Structure 1
Amino acid sequence: MHRHTFSAAVTVALVFLWASPLFGQNVDTTGYNVLFISVDDLNDWVGCFGGNPQAKTPNLDKFSAGGGMVMYDAHGAATVCNPSRSSLLLGAHCYKTGVYSNAHDLKKAPGAKDLITLPQFFSKHGYHTISRGKMFHGHKIKGKPGYDWGQEFFDEWIKPPRSIWPPKGAVPLSGVPYAPKGHKRDRAFDWGGVGDNDTTKTMDYQTAAWASEQLNARDFDGKPFFMAIGIYRPHLPWYVPQKYFDMYPLEEVKLPETLANDRDDIIQDNGKPIYFEDSWWKRMEKHKAHRQAVRAYLASITFADECVGVLLDGLAKSKYAANTIVMIWGDHGWHLGEKQKYSKTLLWQESCRVPLMVKVPGVTPTNKRCHGVVSLIDMYPTLVQLCGLPANPKNDGRSFAKLLHSPDMTWNEPILTTHNRGNHRIYDGRYSYITYNGGEELYDHRDDPMEWTNLARNPEYAAIKERLKARVPRTNSPEAPSNGGPGKGKKKTRSVR
């Protein structure tokens, strides 16, 4: 089939799919488009997800009210940007591709050489694929400045403008001193108002406004489109216009619930702790800046929500509103002090769980939470099935298309999340099993949603632990070569810390 031809066979497949018992209703989806929106480093602090009642996300909440189903128990396939995005966009787990960290190059990964990315798959089957903003992770391109965000995987790729950063002499803009050591890493963990309080000057707003204009001005040569848009905030540093900070008076900001001795039951056999102390957490603790950090993350979420709203409003005004599937997702979670940790990377709930929302016009109900257990790696086969395309047999994920019409059905097949080579988490909707360097953790989310009590050594849970442990990959592909970009380094990635 020619890559730019939306064939009659596909059209027939679409009609058959939506008239079949899978959805139990007739919906005309001929030539369905896809709007694929990532929001970098967004955790569940979204109103309709309930992760933090302080969060102001009116546009995402409106999207939920208008048929954007909340996939309440969604999780990433990895807990940092590159492996998470590579996994979901390839439809393959890290332990197969060898892309375990931000330093690993998807394009050089031996385990990925025979795989086709999600946008390439749609292009192959007659879609016009177009992208702006961060979708893939950055890789250096020889002879070209800067990092790409996957332009070679799309028919059309538009480079976004630069982010607004304060002058070097003005940092740390937050006023929280950098640590004496690790200054380079610390520089990323900063926040403050930028852009003369004008949202329209920001990279993310301009990306969203551009996408909105495309939806209202183009016919994409008569083809269905796959449009992938990346919103960068709330990725660090949290530099957004001051007005978003002003929405969260500092004295009113509440901190996440934590347990002072949370890590005491996570130890090696010799009694030593498994995890290093987090330097960012220590810095916030030293300068009593936890509240300021939480406020900055909330401000960045509200800013990102406004940018997503610009894009969703553009779709609503366009001729494509009634036949466009929308998926909005975060690539992994984010710690805001829980378990004495900031950032992502680890295999606890705060790093693994992600916001995922899906709207299929005429199918997904309004104001609905689905509690089925899904992984971001499932998005690839789900979109393929929704659009009536032939399945990709190399996809590791499981289509959750059935859930979109029957969100209350049981859906708790265990899913896998990986951090660095050989460290994995298996989660089935109630229990979370984590293994790293031979160490183990087990949590019961029904009784312990904060993961405060490690049950791995409790003999009463031995059978449950063994059941989940049997799902852990027995082999792990070698690490892919470095991409020379963000997170570059000659040393192999370390185990979980």
Structure 2
Amino acid sequence: MSFLKRFLVGVCLILTTGLCAKENMNVLFIAIDDLNDWIGPMGGNPQVKTPHLDKFANFSIVMNKAYCPATVCGPSRSSLLTGRHCHNTGVYGNSNNLKKASKTKDLETLPEYFGNRGYHTLTTGKIFHKHMTSEGMDEGHWAFHEVGKTKGSAGGMLWKKQATHPDHKYGGSPIQWGATKAPLEKTKDYMNAKWAAEQFERDFDGKPFFMALGISRPHLPFFVPQKYFDMYPLDKVKPAPVKLDDYDDIVDSNGKAFFKGPDATWLAVDKSNAHTELNRAYMASVTYADDCLGVVFDALAKSQYADNTIVMLWGDHGWYLGEKLKYRKTGLWEEAARVPFMVRVPGVNEGVKSDGVINLIDMYPTLIDLCGLPENSNNDGRSFAKLIANPKMTWNTPTLSTMGHMNHALTDGRYRYISYKKGVQELYDHNSDPMEYNNLANNPEYAEIIAKFKKQLPKNNEPESPRNTMEKKKNKASKKI
């Protein structure tokens, strides 16, 4: 696209408040598994090195207050890909397959929507949450025209026979980390990124493309090449802050503590004095993922598609590194619900940050808007194309995150309100308490604020859809709250 055409597309988007592009734009849709705000553009942890994301931020809008629809992989991805919230579908956990749920099995997913309207759709890596079925592993490949198969491993053999710490198995994948023998170029995420980069050399028979790339790290296990651990000398790493009495003010109507204490993984890591090592391993995995992303960013910038490709880069939910006396995901606090989100529309407000409150479920209607496709009336989310055109505008309608049946959180960018099905509530003011240490829910001064949030909780909560009985590991996260 010439500079003049690029300029005109940008002007069109701004003048029409971001409603559509004049020509079919390509879409690069990048998912990063278990990535929290520990990246340079979001400043969640200044120790972490993400030079490629830092550079990409100069050509995109960093959505500083983006949230996930659910705080665990399966329901978050199912929601954003179908455009429907958990409470409307019953897909609350990793064992709920959207293709087996009555409320989602016939919905047109985001890639299908584009594929059915003239786009060539292709993918590699994790986009949908995978499920074992009688026909084999369902990875959501049915939603795309083309699937890239790469030969990379998750990391290859470790330099040591076992991981470098006790293997803590509590409620999910083992907490493992260690340096791999495999060089960067032989690892799975790198090879998936390389495959995606190579697609920019293709001609798609005149069709626009919708390409989805999934990056697995920093999902467990934290197995990455040694050079990434070397970037973070252990004696220099400062672990995430911890407040040992953090749960004391989260009580029911009788004043009884709602949480018994730190979660099992936190206790196990604490017992082995491994907090610093685990934080370091996560940092190493984030920097590894950043290097993989750099391959894609560089290839796109040099390609024929540089100026007519919309990029949406997102993490599927947050991740605790000891904050709130937790590790992993789940729960409804800020650390689990806030996600990295960056969007690039060529020529439109590049290199800025927005504090507009958005949800990953909003990506579906927004991409439709930006690409000039017909509205999908099934979408629960709302397009934020207007926010892309004017990133500084007020955009603070409370957005929803869910964890299990009837457990919800709402945030308007300042306050976070949490409501559990057992009647317990939490309220935090991020202006004065960004780490959410001081629960205001039982303070009568905030009764009016709580009342406003309560009116916006879902009125209907679908029962949980059938669990996949073929899963080797059942998701127990939703039972914890």
Where does residue 455 of structure 1 map in the other structure? 440
For 1:26-425, what aligned pairs fall within 5 Å after superposition?
A: 29-65=22-58, 67-144=59-136, 147-161=137-151, 162-166=153-157, 170-171=161-162, 173-174=163-164, 176-178=165-167, 183=169, 188-196=174-182, 198-216=183-201, 218-276=202-260, 277-366=262-351, 368-425=352-409
Q: What secondary structure does 2:220 align onto?
A: coil
CA offset at residue 233 of structure 1? 0.2
Q: What secondary structure does 2:108 align onto?
A: coil
Amino acid aligned to 1:393: S
> CA offsets per residue over residues 439-465 of structure 1, 9 Å max, x none?
111111111111001111100000000
Q: What secondary structure does 2:205 align onto?
A: helix
In 2, Cα distance between the equivalents of 1:469 and 1:160?
47
In 2, Cα distance between the equivalents of 1:356 and 1:326?
10
Q: What secondary structure does 2:307 align onto?
A: helix
1:21 aligns with 2:21: no
In 2, Cα distance between the equivalents of 1:186 and 1:403?
37
CA offset at residue 20 of structure 1? 4.1
> CA offsets per residue over residues 188-243 of structure 1, 9 Å max, x none?
211010134x1011000000001111111x11121000000000000001000010
Kept in 2, the 8 Å contact 1:191–1:238? The answer is: yes
Amino acid aligned to 2:177: W
Q: TM-score, with normalisation over the residues of structure 2?
A: 0.93
Unmatched tracts of structure 2, length 5 or more: 1-8
Kept in 1, the 8 Å contact 2:126–2:215? The answer is: yes
In 2, Cα distance between the equivalents of 1:456 and 1:307?
43
Taking only aligned residues, the RMSD between alpha carbons, in angstroms, comes to 2.2
Amino acid aligned to 1:473: P
> CA offsets per residue over residues 422-454 of structure 1, 9 Å max, x none?
100011111111011211111111111110011
Kept in 2, the 8 Å contact 1:42–1:234? The answer is: yes
Deviation larger for 316-325 or 254-263: 254-263
Change in 2 beyond 3 A, CA 1:19/1:426? closer
Kept in 2, the 8 Å contact 1:45–1:55? The answer is: yes
Kept in 2, the 8 Å contact 1:92–1:377? The answer is: yes
CA offset at residue 149 of structure 1? 2.2
CA offset at residue 419 of structure 1? 0.2
Q: What secondary structure does 1:416 align onto?
A: strand
Unmatched tracts of structure 1, length 5 or more: 1-13
Kept in 1, the 8 Å contact 2:330–2:336? The answer is: yes
CA offset at residue 475 of structure 1? 1.9
Q: What secondary structure does 1:125 align onto?
A: coil
Where does residue 9 of structure 1 map in the other structure? none
Amino acid aligned to 1:89: L
CA offset at residue 143 of structure 1? 3.2
Change in 2 beyond 3 A, CA 1:168/1:243? closer
Q: What secondary structure does 1:112 align onto?
A: coil
Q: TM-score, with normalisation over the residues of structure 1?
A: 0.90
